Each structure stands twice: as structure tokens, then as C-alpha cells.
Amino acid sequence: MARLLYIELIKTFLKKRTFIGFAIVAVIVPLIEIAMKLEGGRFLQATTRSLQQDFFLVGNLFNAWLVSYNMMNSLWVHIPLLISFVAGDMLAGEATAGTYRLILIRPVSRTRILLAKYAATVFYTILFVFFLGALSIGLALPLLGRGDLIVFQHGILILPESDVAWRFLVAYLLAAWMMLTIASLAFFFSSFVENAIGPIVGTMGVLIVSFVIMSIPVELFESMRPYLFMYYTNIWQKVFHDPVPWETLWKDAAVLGAYSLAFLGAAWGIFVRKDILS
Amino acid sequence: MSSDVILQTSNLGKHFKRRWAVRHLDLEIHRGDVFGFLGPNGAGKSTTIRMLLSLIRPTEGDVFLFGHSLRTQRQLALKSVGGIVEKPDFYLYLTAYRNLEVVGALNGGTTKRRIFEVLDLVGLGQRAYDKVKTYSHGMKQRLGIAQALLSDPELVVLDEPTSGLDPQGMKEIRDLILHLSRAQKKTILLSSHLLHEVELVATRMAIINKGELVTQGEVKKLLDEGEKYVLLSGEPKKKLELLLRTQRCVQKVEEQTDGFRLAMEFSDIPQLTRTLVRNNIAVHAIIPRRSLEDYFLSLTENDGKL
Ligand SMILES: Nc1ncnc2c1ncn2[C@@H]1O[C@H](COP(=O)(O)OP(=O)(O)O)[C@@H](O)[C@H]1O
Ligand SMILES: [Mg+2]
């Protein structure tokens, strides 16, 4: 199995497509952070000025942690798109290239090939989210300085700096877990089409429809929300609550995991039966 | 089944949407055969080969490789089989070496030495570290064969390996197939839509048309069975006919629009030619023909839609 995973990683990481996501993040993140730096606290000052009068706030609230926190909030559309680029190509790319005919005639079960491909997808997704995290924090710290983290969720919460780093670590883990569900969806779409456009469009379509359902305040839709995996997009934000609602967090993470497994299972069901006609 | 039968299909069939692409197919390939799998375009050769290599699932019937059913013992069945189906496709952004590494991993591992052995065999050793993107069609075709040989399989399945090649390229592949058969004792299944090509390398063959088996057997026997005749045209026609009718080696002369159809042994052709030339006949054409050839030509001329 290690051998199969190794060749899947080679195939994935020698492909240009894989680096599109990394390249875009490597441009966007510095761009946003430099813009933040130049525009400076103005963005925050508007919101904090009134607070500053009511509370006794010290130090630099417009800092690396806040910018990184907001970064995660604002990229929820872009990251799934970039991830579906790679995950959606995992299987469909072999159909497009005609290379299914090369690999699926070997004496290895399709199940093992599928699992190796899924493992490569997991690896890519985690690497990508942590690349985003490391770049975002790593660049922001020297650029914008440190300080306490102010978060606006159900009111205002100020987390002392000493209490922040581990929350980011867990948050990125949860974000990766969430993105894995999206990657699994793209992987599933990838199992029954012949090129990667379908999975990318399909994944984005599901995202958009989910968000429409979630944002229209109709009772029917509201009752559907807990069943949509996109409902848990912001799962990582809960790490910045105080105290952290661990119980809900685990439950949400379990739902996401179940979705990922279901998508993988569906992809498997299709892949092992599939007639290779490409 | 005898231990010498290394590939057998029983009542193999594949149904697509509204029609059978292959049906009631019973093939038998023996150890050491160069087996020609002949049929016009669209006859069902590639569909059959896809089933043999487990790319598509038969609608009915089964394939037995080395006595193992492809339905129930796929991995065992495919262990000693290598192949290439339709056009040779690779990871274009990887080097030939890496492509073979990928295939090797799926075979349970390979070595650098083995990769270079097969690359050298097909004449690509010098281009091992070039991306396949830079390869010509002929080079990809040869890399396809290298890939099929990587695990040193007993049975090598090649689907129209000379398609799209120039005559020189076709000859190279033919020589390679003969080398594999004679020097390396491989059993080879070779599909083609050219009888002439199969005749040059194959020991046994099957003809398939519209998805069904037409005939199967030793190439020599199949070619010798049925009628053999010679088509001859020359000038002046009157004198030529007279001369032909007096030759002992010619059993029958039939006049046709553009010449004569002669019933005779092919081995007598040189002697007849000499006689004609000596008698100042201008010979335009002298073509040995066999009924199997005619039959096969009629299939291809109608594009298989007889
Ligand atoms: N994916 C498919 N769907 C429907 N029909 C197909 C498909 N692939 C092949 N066929 C049909 O099956 C028949 C056999 O095709 P094929 O095996 O490619 O022939 P060959 O390799 O002998 O040229 C053809 O009539 C072809 O149109
Ligand atoms: Mg074909």
C-alpha cells in the first residue's frame, strides 16, 4: 500500500495543476496582509472605537492573529474551489489522459488503487490548508505584530495572546477536516466522469445550493440545515469560543467525517464496477 | 482445460446500450502461440481485449487466464499478463522512466535495472529521462510494449501495435514481436485489421466480424484451406489466353474483365512467368490470391457491415 501511495503522490505532486492552488494562495495571502498593513487599523478602528470607550483595552488589537482569523473567514469559497481542482482530477484525470488503461490492467485490486488515490487526496488537502495557515500566520506575525485576539461572535470576546496559538492549530485541523469533506465530494464526482471540469462544477454547485438553502429563512430550509455538510463550514470558529464547546465540536466533526466516508464509499461503489471505455 | 491453454474465453459477450459489441466468443490461446486476432474496424477486437484485461466487465461469459477466472480471481489471473489496449497513453508530464516506475509499483515493485532492460529492448534507453510529452507516436507505441513487458509476463497482449506507424515502424514492431516469441518464449496475442500483418508473424489466429468468431486455427492451415488462385493480366490478350490453356501447371483458366483467373499452385508461378516472357507476353500483374484473403477483403471493404 505504501508503494501505491508513493506513486500517487509522485503523480499528484509532479503535476502543474497541483500547484495552482499553492500559487494562488501564495499570491492572495501576502496581498491581503500587505493591504491590511497599509490600510492599517482603519478597518478595525471603526468597530473598536466605540468599544475602546466602553472597555479598557490595551495593546495592539489589530494584529497578526486577528488578520489570520479573518483570512480563514474570507477564503471559504476559494479554498474549496482550489481543492476541487486537484481532488476532482484524481480519478477523472486518468480517464482524460487514457491512463486508466495503463494502471487498471495490473494485478492490483481497484479498491487498493482507489484507497491510495484517496490517501493522496487527504495528504494534499491537509498540506494545502496548513500551507495557508502557516503562510498566513508566518507572514502576519512579522508584518502586523502580536497581541490579544479580539473575536466577534455572539458578542465580543478577547482572548489573551497566551491562549491563542493552540486555538489556531486546532482551528486549522478542523478546517482541514472540513475541506476533506469537500475534497471527498469532488473525489466522488471524479469517479464517474471523464474529465475534471464536471467534478469542479459539481462541487461548487453543491456548495452554492447549500448556501442558498442555508441563507434563506424559510422553515423548510431551516429544518434541512443540520443535514447539509456545508452547515458545518465554520466548525473551526467554535475553537475561538470561551469555553470551547467541545461536545458540539466533536459531534460536528463526526458528521463531517460521516459525510467524507459516505462520499468515499459512493466513489468506491462506482469505481470498482466502472467499465473503462476511455 | 489442458495446461497448455493459457487463455480461454467461454461464451464471452459484451452488450453496449442497444447492441452486442462481442458475442458468443470462444477463444483459446496456447503457450508459445503468436495469436493473431484479426477483424475489420469495429469488429470487437478492442472490446474483447478490454475484457481480457479486466477494464470492462463481460455481460456474459468469462475469461480464464492460466486457469484462473477473471471474475473470481482477477489478481491471480492477471499476474503473468502484460498488455496495451488501443492507443498508447501515458502520463505525459512524467518521464518514460517515471511512467514505468508507476507501472512497476502496480506490479508489486520493479528495479531500475529492469526498467532500463525493457527500455533498451524497444530502443528507448537513451530517452528514458525525457518527458513522454516529447515522444512521437511511434516512440509511445514502443514504450507501450516496454510497459507491457516490465513484469516479464508470460502472455503479452498487444492491441493493433502497428496502427499509425510508417512501414519502417511497422517492420520494427514485427521484428520485436518475433524476437519476443522466439528468443524470450513469450505467448503473444496480437490484434490487427490486416491479414497480411497477421500472416507475417502469427502461428495461430482467429477472425472476428461484427463481434462474432468467424474462424480460429493455425494460420497455415486456414490459409491453405479453401481455394488458391492467381490473377494474371498481360498483353496481347489472345496470345496470352492460348498460351495459358496449353500450360500443364495451369488447371483452369477463367476470363475476367481485367485479366485471367488461374487455378494453379503458387510454386509454379516463377516457371509460368518465364514461359510468358519467353513468348513475348507483356505481363502487367501476377497476383497470388487465397479465398481467405478474398473473404477478409470483402469484410474490410464493406467496413464490417456485410
Ligand atoms: N463505449 C461504447 N459504447 C457503445 N458502443 C461501443 C463502445 N465502444 C465500442 N463500441 C462498439 O463496439 C463495437 C466494437 O468496437 P471495438 O471493440 O473498438 O472494435 P475494434 O477494436 O475491432 O475496431 C463497435 O461497433 C463499436 O461501435
Ligand atoms: Mg480497436
Q: Do B55 and A103 touch (CB under 8 A)?
A: no
Is pLDDT larger for residue A55 or for residue A131? Answer: A131
Q: What is the DSSP string of B122-185?
A: TT-GGGTTSBGGG--HHHHHHHHHHHHHTT--SEEEEESTTTT--HHHHHHHHHHHHHHHHTS-
CB contact under 8 A, B103 and A106: yes
pLDDT of residue B134: 97
**Range from A48-57, B17-26, B257-266, B287-296 that averages highest in pLDDT:** B17-26
Which A residues, 85 through 114, put their C-beta within 8 Å of a C-beta on chain B?
Answer: 97-109, 113
Is 60 exceeded by the pLDDT of residue A131?
yes
pLDDT at A268: 98
Nearest to B91 among A11, A101, A108 (CB): A11
Instruction: Report how far residue A78's alpha carbon sits from residue A203's, in angstroms, rounded to the nearest whole number.
Output: 12
Count CA within 13 A, CB hemisphere, residue B43: 28
Closest CA to B260 of B274, B271, B276, B278: B276
Per-residue pLDDT of B171-216, as tens digits, reads 999 999 999 999 999 999 999 998 889 989 999 999 999 999 998 9
> How much of chain B, in percent, has pLDDT values that exceed 90?
66
Nearest CA to ligand 1 atom 10: B21
Between A183 and A226, residue with greater pLDDT? A183
Domains and CATH numbers, chain B: 5-224 (3.40.50.300), 226-296 (3.30.70)
Say what the pLDDT of residue B137 is. Answer: 94
pLDDT at B152 over 80: yes
Interface test with A, best of B49, B55, B145 (most A CBs within 10 A): B55
Element (H or E) spanning A150, and its range?
strand A149-152
| Helix spans in chain B (H) | 45-52, 74-78, 96-106, 112-121, 137-149, 167-182, 195-201, 219-224, 237-245, 269-278, 291-301
CA of A271 to the centre of ligand 1 (A): 21
Q: Is position A146 within any domain? A: yes
Under the banding of pLDDT at 50, 70 and 90, the label for residue A107 is very high
Q: How far is the CA of A193 from the centre of ligand 2 (A)?
A: 22
Reply yes or no on whether the pLDDT at A198 is more than 50.
yes
Count other C-beta atoms under 10 Å from residue B270's C-beta: 10
Model pLDDT, residue B305: 45
For residues B119 and B135, what is the distance between their CA atoms, to the nearest angstrom?
Answer: 13
Q: How confident is the model at residue A148 (pLDDT cuts 50, 70, 90)?
A: confident
Please answer yes or no on whether B98 and A14 come within 8 Å at the CB atom.
Answer: yes
CB contact under 8 A, B106 and A7: yes
Give me the helices (H) in chain A, please.
Answer: 2-13, 16-39, 42-54, 64-74, 78-87, 89-97, 100-103, 110-144, 165-190, 197-215, 219-224, 246-273
Mean pLDDT over B220-228 rounds to 80
Identify which has the larger pLDDT, B112 or A241: B112
The CA B55 to ligand 1 mean position distance, Å, reads 14
* Among A10-14, A29-33, A129-133, A233-237, the least confident range: A233-237
| CB distance A189 to A206 below 8 Å | no
Residues of B with CB under 8 A from a CB of A: 50, 53-57, 74-79, 81, 83-87, 89-94, 98-99, 101-103, 105-109, 147
Q: Is A47 on the interface with B (CB under 8 A)?
A: no
Any domain includes A276: no
Range among A40-49, A51-60, A99-108 rated most confident:
A99-108
Of B46 and B232, the one with more pLDDT: B46
Rounded to two decimals, the ipTM of the complex is: 0.88
Residues A275, B109: C-beta atoms closer than 8 Å: no
- Which residues contact ligand 1 via a Cβ below 6 A? A 277; B 16-17, 21, 39, 41-47
Pocket test for ligand 1, best of B19, B25, B41, B47 (most atoms within 8 A of CB): B47
Residues of B in contact with A4 (CB under 8 A): 105-106
Q: What residues of chain A lie within 8 A of the CB of B76, using their CB?
A: 107
Could you tell me the pTM of the whole model?
A: 0.89
What is the pLDDT averaged over residues B154-158?
97
With 50 as the cut, is the pLDDT of residue B27 above it? Answer: yes
pLDDT for position A59 = 62
Of B57, B105, B147, the CB nearest to A6: B105
B39 CA: nearest ligand 1 atom: 22
Report the distance separating Cα B279 and Cα B235, nearest Å: 11
B194 CA to middle of ligand 2, Å?
12
Regarding predicted confidence, which is higher, A88 or B291? A88
Retrieve residue B242's grid coordinates.
492460348
Residue A277 lies in a domain: no
Please tell me the distance in Å from A23's CA to the nearest CA on chain B.
19
Give A76 to chain B, closest Cα distance, Å.
Answer: 31
C-beta atoms of A101 and B86 within 8 A: yes
Give the Å distance between the CA of A162 and the centre of ligand 1: 67
Dist. CA A15–CA B174, nearest whole Å: 35
Say what the pLDDT of residue A74 is.
Answer: 76
Which residues 6+ apart lie within 8 Å of B74 measured at CB? A107, A109, B54
Task: Identify which has the larger pLDDT, B14 or A233.
Answer: B14
To probe the interface with B, which of A4, A13, A101 has the most B CB atoms within 10 Å? A101
**CA A124, A127, A131, A132 torsion-angle sign:** positive
**Which residues of chain A lie closer than 8 angstroms to B103, CB-CB?**
102-103, 106
Question: Looking at residue B304, what is its pLDDT?
Answer: 43
Pairing of strands A156-159, A149-152: antiparallel
By mean pLDDT, which of A260-264, B61-65, B91-95, B268-272 is the weakest? Answer: B268-272
Is A193 at the interface with chain B, CB within 8 A?
no
B15 CA from centroid of ligand 1 (Å): 10
Average pLDDT over residues A79-88: 93
Per the CB < 8 A criterion, the answer to whether B12 and B26 are in contact is yes
Q: pLDDT (tens digit, 9 = 90+) per residue, A158-175?
A: 888 888 889 999 999 999
Contact between residue B69 and residue B77 where contact means Cβ atoms under 8 Å apart: yes
CA of B41 to the centre of ligand 2 (A): 7
pLDDT band for position A41 (cuts 50, 70, 90) = low
- A258 located within any domain: yes
State residue A78's pLDDT score. 84
Q: Name which of A53-67, A234-248, B150-164, B194-208 the model is least confident about.
A: A53-67
pLDDT tier for residue B302 given thresholds of 50, 70 and 90:
low
**pLDDT, tens digit, 9 for 90 and up, residues A111-120:** 999 999 999 9
- Does A191 map to a domain? yes
User: Which residue's CA lies nearest to atom 24 of ligand 1?
Assistant: B42
C-alpha grid cell for residue A179? Answer: 475541506
Asked if residue A199 is part of any domain, the answer here is yes
Question: Rounded to an integer, what distance in angstroms lies between the CA atom of residue A93 and that of residue A87?
Answer: 10
Does the structure show a pLDDT above 50 at A241?
yes
Inform me whether the pLDDT recorded for B293 exceeds 80.
no
Structural domain containing residue A50 = 2-271
Structure confidence by residue, pLDDT tens digits, A64-80: 888 888 888 877 778 99
Q: Are B46 and B235 in contact (CB under 8 A)?
A: no
The alpha carbon of residue A105 is apart from the nearest alpha carbon of chain B, in Å, by 5
Nearest CA to ligand 1 atom 18: B46
Q: Is the pLDDT of residue B239 over 50?
A: yes
Q: Which of A106, A114, A277 should be substituted to probe chain B, the one whose Cβ sees the most B Cβ atoms within 10 Å? A: A106
Q: Which of A111-115, A136-140, A166-170, A208-212 comes out lowest in average pLDDT?
A: A208-212
Which pLDDT value is given to residue B306? 43
Q: What is the pLDDT of residue B250?
A: 87
* Domain presence at residue A249: yes
For residue A35, the model assigns a pLDDT of: 86
Share of chain B above pLDDT 70, in %: 97
Instruction: Return mean pLDDT, chain B.
Output: 91
Confirm whether A278 is domain-assigned.
no
Tens of pLDDT, residue by residue over B61-120, are: 999 999 999 999 999 999 999 999 999 999 999 999 999 999 999 999 999 999 999 999
Give the number of domains in chain A: 1
**Which pLDDT score, from 0 to 100, does residue B21 have?**
96
Lowest mean pLDDT among A20-34, A41-55, A226-240, B69-83: A41-55
**How many Cβ atoms from other residues are within 10 Å of residue A49's Cβ?**
10
Nearest to A149 by CA among A229, A263, A70, A47: A70
